[in-house]
């Protein structure tokens, strides 16, 4: 039987058209965009073409787009670059408890270096309240970083409202939009953000390439230092095949997004309703409506996320969980803990994320087999209450 991929939030397959757009730059068009000969000019042309696509997709100017090696680098660049360049103003950054590790870890490191970091908690549905962000700010606050949508539970944050409060108080606003770019509308002018991170492999582009949008006039120091690439803001020879792929992937998303939102939202809701109907003691994680069109996340009482995953994998279904024991990380998800889920429920979480190639038959097959997997695991669980008629 064909395998089923329900892990689009972890990474997406590269669209065949994207791969085609990248191929020339592994071949004859191999030039270094800094070279002034024809090889270099051809590479530079492709890069500027991609930059144009990104800028128009985001509603940004060409010079506001800086290509990076990943979403992680864009996030690190935003935090370190803005704090380093604005030391005269202050040393405080405000972020949230549910950020991706690409923000959490650099923020933790900044704290070690002597910076002040305030982490704001979301409500039980994963929503960050703008007034909580405003309350956390001081006259030392240089930067506020709040993700656009959460990668685990899919909650979409009110970035526009948060940004407007942040700007009023005179700080810079960054958003990690790695889960939203290419999936729901993202426009930097409408959102009012100064910095925004994105990553190609989350929207059917290649791995290892991303970008940071930096609003004109934002004071930011380079994170990678070396050559003068990207107008002296990001050193290193540009990843031309990757950048061409990123541009093509975003162009395709622009053409297909409206339809994909409709299709995925319907399949998402079918999964949510189907799971709630077929299995007892399940709890939806994340917001019911302010939610990514492709995200389903449940806590299933009395079982381990890990066992669900392994059992589904044996049936050819790829999903994800908030507790990744095999990756050496026994701690339950910081996101589920932050929204107030007790430890047991954090360990019993499962995330299904849909995408461009998800078909309705796959959703139906999942709804058919998943209740059986849960029943089997619960039958083995010492915690699952034994029914009266089974007592001796």
Ligand X SMILES: *Cc1c(COP(=O)(O)O)cnc(C)c1O
What residues form the annotated binding site? 71-72, 151, 179, 199-201, 237, 325
Token pair for 116:
């002040």
Could you confirm whether 253 is annotated as catalytic? no
CB neighbours of residue 274 within 10 Å: 18
**Where on the chain is the footprint of ligand X (CB under 6 A)?**
70-72, 75, 100, 102, 147, 151, 176, 178-179, 199, 201-202, 210
Residue whose CB is nearest to ligand X in the complex, by number? 71
d(CA 234, CA 226): 8
Residue 94 and residue 141 in contact, taking contact as beta carbons nearer than 8 Å:
yes
Tell me whether residue 91 or residue 119 sits nearer to ligand X (CB atom). 119
∠ CA 183-188-192, nearest 5°, is 125
CB of 179 to ligand X, least distance (A): 5
Tell me whether residue 70 or residue 311 sits nearer to ligand X (CB atom). 70
Tell me whether residue 311 or residue 333 sits nearer to ligand X (CB atom). 333
d(CA 249, CA 259): 16
Q: What is the dihedral of CA 221, 73, 194, 121, to 10 degrees?
A: -120
Residues making up the annotated binding site for [2Fe-2S] cluster are 325
Token pair for 177:
């939009």
∠ CA 230-176-288, nearest 5°, is 155
CB of 7 to ligand X, least distance (A): 12
Backbone φ and ψ for 155, nearest 5 degrees, come out as -65, 130
CB of 258 to ligand X, least distance (A): 22
Beta strand pairing call for 172-176 and 141-145: parallel
CB of 101 to ligand X, least distance (A): 8
List 211, 253, 325, 346, catalytic entry: 325
CB of 315 to ligand X, least distance (A): 26
Which residue is it, tokens 């050559």? 227
**Burial (CB count within 10 angstroms: exposed 0-12, middle 13-18, buried 19+), residue 129:** middle
d(CA 174, CA 82): 10
Tell me whether residue 141 or residue 180 sits nearer to ligand X (CB atom). 180
Which residue is it, tokens 């908030």? 322
Residues making up the annotated binding site for pyridoxal 5'-phosphate are 71-72, 151, 179, 199-201, 237
CB of 77 to ligand X, least distance (A): 12
Task: Report which of 315, 389, 391, 307 is spatially closest to residue 348, judged by C-alpha positions.
Answer: 307
**Which positions are annotated as active-site residues?**
325
């Amino acid at each position: 039987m064909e395998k089923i991929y329900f892990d689009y939030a972890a990474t997406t397959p590269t669209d065949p058209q994207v791969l085609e757009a990248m191929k020339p730059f592994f071949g004859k068009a191999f030039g270094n965009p800094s070279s002034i000969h024809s090889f270099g000019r051809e590479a530079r042309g492709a890069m500027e073409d991609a930059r144009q696509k990104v800028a128009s997709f985001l509603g940004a100017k060409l010079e506001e787009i800086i290509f990076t090696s990943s979403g992680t680098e864009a996030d690190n660049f935003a935090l370190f670059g803005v704090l380093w360049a604005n030391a005269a103003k202050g040393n405080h950054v405000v972020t949230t408890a549910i950020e991706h590790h690409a923000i959490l870890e650099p923020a933790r490191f900044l704290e070690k270096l002597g910076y002040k970091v305030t982490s704001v908690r979301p409500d039980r549905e994963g929503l960050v309240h703008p007034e909580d962000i405003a309350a956390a700010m001081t006259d030392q606050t240089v930067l506020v970083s709040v993700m656009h949508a959460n990668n685990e539970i899919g909650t979409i944050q009110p970035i526009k409202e948060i940004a407007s409060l942040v700007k009023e108080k005179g700080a810079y606003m960054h958003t990690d939009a790695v889960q939203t770019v290419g999936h729901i509308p993202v426009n930097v002018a409408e959102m009012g953000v100064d910095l925004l991170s994105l990553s190609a492999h989350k929207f059917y582009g290649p791995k290892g390439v991303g970008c940071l949008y930096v609003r004109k006039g934002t004071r930011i120091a380079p994170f990678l230092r070396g050559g003068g690439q990207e107008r002296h803001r990001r050193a290193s020879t540009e990843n031309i095949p990757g950048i061409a792929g990123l541009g093509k992937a975003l162009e395709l998303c622009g053409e297909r997004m409206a339809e994909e939102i409709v299709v995925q939202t319907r399949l998402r809701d079918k999964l949510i309703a189907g799971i709630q109907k077929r299995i007892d003691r399940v709890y939806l994680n994340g917001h019911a409506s302010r939610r990514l069109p492709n995200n389903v996340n449940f806590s299933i009482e009395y079982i381990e996320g890990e066992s669900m995953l392994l059992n589904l994998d044996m049936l050819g279904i790829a999903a994800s969980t908030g507790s990744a024991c095999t990756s050496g990380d026994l701690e339950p998800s910081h996101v589920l803990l932050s929204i107030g889920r007790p430890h047991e429920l954090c360990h019993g979480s499962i995330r299904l994320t849909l995408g461009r190639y998800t078909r309705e038959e796959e959703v139906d097959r999942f709804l058919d087999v998943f209740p059986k997997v849960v029943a089997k695991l619960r039958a083995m669980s010492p915690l699952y209450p034994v029914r009266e008629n089974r007592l001796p």
